[in-house]
Amino acid sequence: MLLKIKEGLLGIALGDALGVPVENQTREQLKENPVKNMMSLEKHNNKPGIWSDDTSMTLCLAESLCYGFDTENMGKLFLKWLREAYWTPYGKSFDIGDITLKSLERIEKGVKAEEAGGKSQRDNGNGALMRILPISFYIKGNNIKHPSRFEIIHKVSSITHAHPISLISCSIYIEIALNILEGFDLEISIKNTEKSIFNYYKNKIGFKGELYKFKRIFSDDFKYLKEEEIKSNSYVINTLEASIWCILNTNSFKESLLKGVNLGGDTDTTAAVIGGIAGIYYGMDSMPYEWVNKIVRLNDIEKLAEKLNKALCN
């Protein structure tokens, strides 16, 4: 599974780095001047290949899983990133979302990690979705079946985002990833995910009332929606929809990331979420060498992938 772990982690870093320089630009602005390649980030060392909180928190989660499943340790590493710039590209934490910040501050004050995440409707940003992918490797490596794997996903999301909408969103993303890791193509992976998601949540108190909000993702015509029907802001369902829609409407790793970035808005997170799935779907050979070669701390990311793989194989 080493190769898949590398592909997933690098896919996230590549999407993140591609989107950071144009974060919060509008779709109209990017139509006039679209992103075509990796660009420098002027406000942070003026170098291409710099990634943000999306990748940093993903790498913290991946490192924590090297020592087993421990949400308290995950919370400590997230705090270490926030306060000590741990797992940052060049020694500075930046681009943290308000919901994530407030949750980590609660942990800092002694709240248990699994109880720290925001639980209101307003707490459904994409800050858990952007970092959740390593859980798919942990679940597959330990051959964890339903319903236990949903409970695991919930615990990890709840460190920062604990509302049912965020928990379902993360579960959908991980289920798609797990299906791809099993060798299914993208459309079959989505269909399989629909079945497992609705079977699990349809009678679950607190969740079944939110399920209808995800029906569009699983509809037969979702792929054929027009671009103007896809939103690319930081609301978790919009990020999930934009990511799946971009992968469904492209035929390569590079094309899917560029499509996501050029939607505008929360460009780094949309592309990072795309990158995680597209990375394990299209594979390492599909990643532009000139992009990979620019990723800051590339060797460290690859070593972490090796460490996680070794831990999961033991």
The enclosing domain of 182 has a CATH number of 1.10.4080.10
Q: Is residue 129 a contact partner of residue 165, using CB atoms and an 8 Å limit?
A: no
Q: What is the pLDDT of residues 36-80, one digit of tens each?
A: 999 887 655 568 999 999 999 999 999 999 999 999 999 999 999
Domain, as residue range, for 184? 2-313
User: Does position 8 have pLDDT exceeding 90, yes or no?
Assistant: yes
Residue 95 pLDDT:
82
Kindly report which listed range (83-97, 152-166, 246-260, 268-282) carries the lowest average pLDDT score. Answer: 83-97
Residue 211 pLDDT:
96
Closest CA to 49 of 313, 303, 292: 292
Residues annotated within the binding site for Mg(2+) are 52-54, 266, 268-269
Taking residues 242-249, what's their average pLDDT? 98
Taking residues 200-228, what's their average pLDDT? 96
DSSP state of 21: G
Dihedral sign (CA 3, 7, 13, 14): positive
Residue 260 pLDDT:
98
Taking residues 160-187, what's their average pLDDT? 98
Kindly report which listed range (22-36, 89-103, 128-142, 272-286) carries the lowest average pLDDT score. Answer: 89-103
| Token couple for 294 | 């620019």
% of the chain residues with pLDDT over 70: 98
Taking residues 158-171, what's their average pLDDT? 98
Residue 40 pLDDT:
82
Q: Is residue 157 a contact partner of residue 128, using CB atoms and an 8 Å limit?
A: yes
Closest CA to 268 of 10, 66, 18: 18
State the total domains in the chain.
Answer: 1
The full DSSP string for 117-180 is SB-SGGG-BSTTGGG-THHHHHHHHTT--TTHHHHHHHHHHTTTB-SHHHHHHHHHHHHHHHHH
Residue 46 pLDDT:
62
CB within 8 A of 245, min separation 6: which ones?
222, 223, 225, 230
Residue 229 pLDDT:
98
CB within 8 A of 274, min separation 6: which ones?
15, 243, 246, 247, 256, 257, 260
Taking residues 266-281, what's their average pLDDT? 98
Q: Is residue 160 a contact partner of residue 128, using CB atoms and an 8 Å limit?
A: yes
| Token couple for 16 | 């993140």
User: Does position 2 have pLDDT exceeding 90, yes or no?
Assistant: yes
Q: Is residue 268 a contact partner of residue 52, using CB atoms and an 8 Å limit?
A: yes
Using pLDDT thresholds of 50, 70 and 90, give the confidence band for residue 93: confident
Query: DSSP 3-state assignment of 41?
Result: strand
Residue 301 pLDDT:
98
Residue 44 pLDDT:
55
